[in-house]
Amino acid sequence: MNDRAKGSIVIIGGAIVGSCVAYFLRRTGFLGPLTVVERDPTYQFSSTALSAASIRTQFGTPVNVHMSLFGADFFRNIKKHFGAAADIGFIERGYLILGSHETVDERRAGVEMQNSEGAEITALEPDAAKARFPWLNVEGLGIATTAERNEGWFDAWSLLSLVRGAARDLGVTYVHAGVDHILVRGDRAVGVKLQTGTVLPLDWCINAAGANSANVLAGLGIGLPVSPRKRTVFSIRAPLDRTGFPMLFDTTGAWIRPEGEGFICGIAPEFAEDPEASGDFEPHHHLLEERIWPALAHRVPALEQLRVERSWAGHYEVNALDHNGIIGPHQEINNLIFATGFSGHGVMHAPATGRGIAELIVHGEYRSIDLSPLGFDRIASGTPLHETVVY
């Protein structure tokens, strides 16, 4: 038996990333004790539960395209993984990402890269976009891109429930507690001390604590450029046919997609209005009237008559260095593994992250997707791998 498949693992964070790591560790053959520490088992404020729960292959970084392709296949075949009753409501429908005249060359190069990595993206001239999406106002557009498959949206809570339940069925233990600190001896993490005073000994420690990832490293002198940033989602109704409506991203950064009997929409706040947001879940109500509504009403005239039903705010775990995930071991404490900093695409990339970390621990290498470009080395050296398609 491979010695790497034994020992003990503690995963800090039990939402979708941490639970996917636990699930895939078992599926990959890890046999030792496996404990997931989650400070809020209700997941009331979890980024997973509060996310817009979408997946796209239109990224600027090749590794992200591959992670999304795996995620889309995983979601599409959810019954194969979790049984005939499994359902996450996956609607496979391409994003429609709009670009100005100034971005045409850059966007076409992006489509060429994405398709070379296995995506199926189509670039549309404005007239072709209008013909395909008649409700679209193409004024000021230079290009629109959409996926023919492997993009869409789903129910994140259903996904988390399935993965977490399967992990527990495979012998993973979930502990309700906050983490006080990680115990390190020399160049090894040796335990996690909980706020209850209990110490969990370990051979591997995985930091999947999302927006709280930097806090659990307190006292170790590790600079992790990850912090919570608030993102507000508005649920609306409008006299607009939802049939075939995509996840639309406007040139202004405003987005909208169907949800239930209506739509959800949002926009990232301006930089000056986007501070570290620990404990702050109050929606940015002004964003709808001041930025989202004018942008969407211009782009989709039927949205001039929208009605707000509710709103909520969740946290992005923003990696301020380059808006890319941080996956893999610390360069000095090599049994401390990171799975964090996804900057808004953690739910879609959780399956690929889980499988990759499982391969790294059990086999000592990535075997399916090479996730090394997302490693911690670039954080330590301050060498960004910029993700350019960020919302």
| Mean of pLDDT values over 163-191 | 97
| Mean of pLDDT values over 99-120 | 98
268-285, pLDDT tens digit by residue? 999 999 999 999 999 999
Cα–Cα dist 249/246, whole Å: 9
14-42, pLDDT tens digit by residue? 999 999 999 999 999 999 999 999 999 99
Confidence (pLDDT) at 128: 98
Q: In the CATH scheme, what architecture does the domain 3-53+156-225+321-381 have? A: 3-Layer(bba) Sandwich (3.50)
Domain limits, the chain: 3-53+156-225+321-381, 93-149+227-318
Q: With cut-offs at 50, 70 and 90, classify the pLDDT of residue 1.
A: very low
Confidence (pLDDT) at 2: 65
How is residue 195 annotated by DSSP?
Answer: T
Look-up of token digits 């495979």: 170
- The CATH class that applies to domain 93-149+227-318 reads alpha beta
Mean pLDDT of all residues belonging to the chain: 97
Percentage of the chain beyond pLDDT 90 is 97
Cα–Cα dist 260/224, whole Å: 37
With CA atoms as reference, report the closest residue to 234 among 259, 253, 213, 204: 259
Q: Where are the alpha helices (DSSP H) in 45-202?
A: 47-50, 62-76, 78-82, 104-116, 126-132, 156-169
